[in-house]
Structure 1
Amino acid sequence: IVTYLKNPDSTFPKLLSGLDNFGQKYGYKLNINKTQVLCVNYTPSSSIRQKYKLKWDLGNIKYLGVFITQDLNKLYEINYHKINNNIQKDLSKHQEDDNFTVSETLKTWTDIVRKYKLEGDCRLLLWPLQTTLFRPGQIDKTFTTWTEVLQPYAH
């Protein structure tokens, strides 16, 4: 479950109480050992920290295979910078080959997606394209760059 809370000092205890009530009724149990909290523009009070023994001091959390950071400017670097460089190296191997066909291009792209475990990321990143509230600009640019790099091989 991913939640966003306004006024977490008052709403966080209510959220956990609601999850507890739901769990008692439907058999759901919150695994506190795996529960992560990413505080953005919020510092939990010592009473909240003591009452709820959670991982409060995380700079990022991993959700559906993608790291979400407190600083949105770091999203690209943490998730895609290294992968992008490796993909560029893999693709550059084929740029000199005039006999590189469309089917080989698609196979290369499929291999890259599998090699760097991007299956979940590619699906996950379709959502921001449809949502005007969330536009991770540098990530969008990365997919545009990959498309431009692959385009010459599609002929």
Structure 2
Amino acid sequence: MVRPGLDQPNQAHPQGYGNNKADVQPNIPTAVITCIVPCVTFGQIAEIVDEGATTCAIGGLLYGAIFITAFPYKYSSLFRAKIRNKYGLPEAPAPDWLTHLFCEHCALCQEYRELKHRGFDPKIGWAMNVQAHQQEMMAPPIGQRMMG
């Protein structure tokens, strides 16, 4: 089943969301961490979305400070919008701020999963993701032969 919003089919997964077993099983550790300390998950998302300009620690601390003093959904929904704009995803089934207001933890888990689908591992940070992608690009092709 393809759901609107961040679970739309994408370039990284042309067949769409939910086509293999790993896609449909929830990431229990991420869900638990997000429920207990959402600032950790948010910090990881922020670092990837901002391409390292916002570190996990700074993003998490800002989120935590806002969580204690105000409404974190306003801040976290900005990063959801950045993900949507970056990958051309629709703002559906509800506006970003509304999704975060009523489903903050679920929205964070969904954004984390979307970044994973796009080939990022939010828990290792931006620099390690860049390094991993560079190593993948430098790996020689398998089964390549010279034709003469």
Flag whether TM exceeds 0.5 (same fold): no
Greater strand fraction, Structure 1 or Structure 2 = 1
If you compute each CA radius of gyration, which structure gives the higher value, 1 or 2? 1
TM-score scaled by length of structure 2? 0.26
Task: Say which structure, 1 or 2, has more relative contact order (CA 8 Å, 6+ apart).
Answer: 2
TM-score scaled by length of structure 1? 0.25
